[in-house]
Structure 1
Amino acid sequence: MSTTTTPPTPPTPESEGPAPRSVRLIQNEATTEIPVHLLFRDDPETGAVPLSPAVVGRRQGTGEQPRLRRPAAASRPRPAPQVDPELAERPARVLPGAAGVLAGACGVAGCAVTSWWAGTLPPLAVEALALPAQAGAGLGVAQWAAYAGAGALGLFGFGGLARGRTGRAWVLGLFGRYRGTVRRTGLMWVNPLLLRRRVDVRLRHWRSEPMAAADGSGVALRVVALVVWRVRDTARATLGVEDHETYLRECVEAALVRVPVEQPGSPKASVDAATDALTRVVAADAAPVGLEVFSVQPVRVEYAPEVAAAMHRRRIAALDAQHRASVLTSVVDSVEDTVTRLTMRGLVELDDYERKALVKDLTVAFCSSRGEQAP
């Protein structure tokens, strides 16, 4: 039995690899051809492909030019004010008050001993101090030098004594350089050559004068704000700005211009939201200069003088319209009730014309009576 061998089929381009995927396109009369696989392409191996701004084709027959869809520019945050980064509060070196008292007493004792040595100490003082007979050496160079040393020691001892109080701090400086902050209380000794600046670090309340503001609709307002704040960094508050209280006042005024304030009579939730927004803005502006703001609350909100008259007229007109609507409603109800009772009880029989006439007469009569009763 013979077997027929079929010769191998020569390889074709189709059999060498997978068949190429057909590219599907989206196409209509208003757009260009876009491959579908490009719209949903998410292949991390190939990397991101920079794409040009999408072009929206013009509609046929309208003459409209192609438009570019550009992403909206993100608003850049407003940079915070910058202060010297090296300027930060640090504790100053001070000594207990006993050291200053001891140094001053030693200086006074040294002056007394020098006077006894020079023979210028009064006899009564010699007897009171139980000193031996005066030497009587006279005032020479050595005596004057001893006087200078003892006097300088006494001046440094007593001149450096200071009393620290609760809620108060001292910012110390030497020849224009910051040397530290003293927050201790009680008697202490501070170098008398240092310049002292007293700073109030207690929790403070400041009630502003009427400031310009606006609501969400742009209506001009006058706002009185109550600010609760304190000095957190004495070095920046004293040396970072010329006057930190004036700086805080300007921050509050600027925040009232940027943040919308609710009109008088607004709901409590809206008022609380405006208060929180004001507090965040003022706290962010005051933080670089060492001020800590806890609350900025509008305690009195009123319309600006140029707006108050118009708002008053508008409110009166609204009240008048509301009063007229209520009067008309009551008159219509009264007329309807009167006509219904007359017809239901069979007192009168009215056709359409007579009913309209009766309604008209009753309406005029009721409106006249209500007008006479109104003040």
Structure 2
Amino acid sequence: MSTSTSPTSESGGPARPARLIQNEATTEIPVHLLFRDEPDPVSVPLRPAVVTRRQPARGRPRPVVAEVDPELAERPARVLPGAVGVLAGGLGAAGCLATSWWAGLLPYELLAALGLPRNTGAGLGPAQWAGYAGAGALGLFGCGGLARGRTGRAWVLGLFGRYRGTVRRTGLMWVNPLVLRRRVDVRLRHWRSEPMPAADGSGVAVRAVVLVVWRVKDTARATLGVEDHESYLRECVEAALARVPVELPGGTAGAVASAGEALTRLVAADAAVVGLEVFSVRPVRVEYAPEVAAAMHRRRIAALDARHRASVLTSVVDSVEDTVTRLTVRGLVELDDYERKALVKDLTVAFCAGRGEPGA
């Protein structure tokens, strides 16, 4: 039986342990090479990077995008002209009158007025009650379905929780009285918000009042896709104000216009999901928030004061320079360096005192 022996080095001592990484070669680096000064490596031109969309790993949640049921979209509902409901109501009334004549319940005066022959009748029996029920149901079904459509208003119809269509017709029409009707305003609407929290370009808290021009484009999504589309629009405006900086009055026209365009783009994209069409979102009043209004007012006053002092100092220096230059160039006085400095000092004090007087 053979026994395995550990390998030995050529000097007869114990051999070094085998390498752990069998497929890679290792090389010993002298210590002095680690601290050797070498010139900077030559810069290699970089190619444009190509960004590829990585597939989400298994088990990683995908980003959630707000989306309404794609099958929920506005479609026209089936309605009949209003004459159909009027005719059904008239037939129901005529049926009740005929059943009363059949039962002999009509008074003689009414029979004479209607030109009907007198009938003693057999009283109220099962047949008469059935006639009353049928005529009454026809009359109620006909009159109960009458509806009047107005310009700028629409009806969203639902039956047993299912969307049955939208009616945008105007005038008298007949709608199935069993369906649930929801009136929706589809006119162009203007909404002026209350002061909402926002921030300017410097990140200072402000309060902004915006004017939103919008309308309901898809009545099915606006009514059934969200609980309250007006509250949803308000939340979209507030979310857009948190992402877009607004400028205070007095800012550049380009900044104000760009802020309005950015707000309109964001709110229109968020509101389109629920069938709302947003035309413009414009800030109409912007002011500092109450917690920073006093500090910003003091800061503005200090900036104006510093600007005024700088302009006054520039004017005084120009006046002193002009005065000294004229005196020396015309030969009115001969000044050495000491006298020139003294004259400049006296003129500066005099001009500053004159600028500081009221009405100067």
- The alignment's TM-score, normalised by the length of structure 1, stands at 0.78
- Report the counterpart of residue 65 of structure 1 in structure 2: none
Contact 1:80 1:284 in 2 (8 A): no
Match of 1:153 in 2: 138
- Aligned counterpart in structure 2 of residue 365 of structure 1, from 346, 350, 359: 350
| Separation in 2, partners of 1:79, 1:221 | 31
Q: CA deviation at 1:73?
A: 9.3
Counterpart-to-counterpart distance in 1, 2:218 and 2:186: 9
Report the equivalent of 2:75.
Answer: 90
Shift of 1:351: 1.4
Deviations 1:97-118 (A, max 9, x none): 0010011001001111111111
Q: How does 1:59-70 map to 2 (within 5 A)?
A: none
- Distance of 1:79 and 1:267 partners within structure 2: 38
| C-alpha distance after superposition, 1:223-246 (max 9, x if no partner) | 111111111111111111111100
Instruction: State the Cα RMSD in Å.
Output: 2.5
Unaligned runs of 5+ in 1: 1-57, 63-68
The equivalent residue for 2:92 is 107
**3-state secondary structure, aligned to 2:147:** strand
CA contact (8 A) 1:87 1:235 kept: yes
SS of structure 2 residue aligned to 1:373: coil
Over residues 280-301 of structure 1, what are the superposed CA-to-partner deviations in whole Å (9 max), with x where a residue is unaligned? 1111111111111111111111
Following TM superposition, the consecutive aligned residue runs of length 4 or more in structure 1 with deviations greater than 4 angstroms are 58-62, 69-79
Q: How many matched pairs?
A: 312
Worse-matched range after superposition: 254-263 or 85-94: 254-263
Once the 2 structures are TM-superposed, how far is the Cα of residue 191 of structure 1 from its aligned partner?
0.9
Return the alpha-carbon distance in structure 2 between the equivalents of residues 285 and 199 of structure 1: 20
The residue aligned with 1:298 is 283
Where does residue 252 of structure 2 map in the other structure? 267
Q: 2:128 aligns with which of 128, 134, 143?
A: 143
1:289-323 Cα offsets, whole Å, 9 max, x none, are 11111111111112222222222122111111111
Cα 1:219–1:91 shift into 2, 3 Å? same
Which letter does structure 2 place at the counterpart of 1:133?
R
TM-score under structure 2 normalisation? 0.81
Q: Which runs of 5+ in 2 are unaligned?
A: 1-33, 39-45, 57-61
Secondary structure, counterpart of 1:317 in structure 2: helix
Partner Cα separation in structure 1 for residue 120 and residue 262 of structure 2: 80
Q: Say if 2:82 and 2:172, in contact at 8 Å, map to a contact too.
A: yes
Q: Percent identity?
A: 79
User: What does 1:146-295 correspond to in 2, within 5 Å?
Assistant: 146-295=131-280
Distance in 2 separating the partners of 1:284 and 1:132: 72
- Once structures 1 and 2 are overlaid, which stretch shifts more, 201-210 or 217-226? 217-226
Deviations 1:39-67 (CA, angstroms, capped at 9, x unpaired):
xxxxxxxxxxxxxxxxxxx99669xxxxx
Distance 2:50 2:143 in 1: 72
Q: Secondary structure at the match of 1:237?
A: helix
Deviates more, 1:192-201 or 1:365-374: 365-374
CA contact (8 A) 2:108 2:118 kept: no
**2:336 aligned residue:** 351
Within 5 Å, give how 1:114-129 maps onto structure 2: 114-129=99-114
> Could you tell me whether the CA contact under 8 Å between 1:166 and 1:185 is conserved in 2?
yes
Q: Cα distance 1:203–1:274, how it changes in 2: closer, same or farther (>3 A)?
A: same
The CA deviation at 1:206 is: 0.6
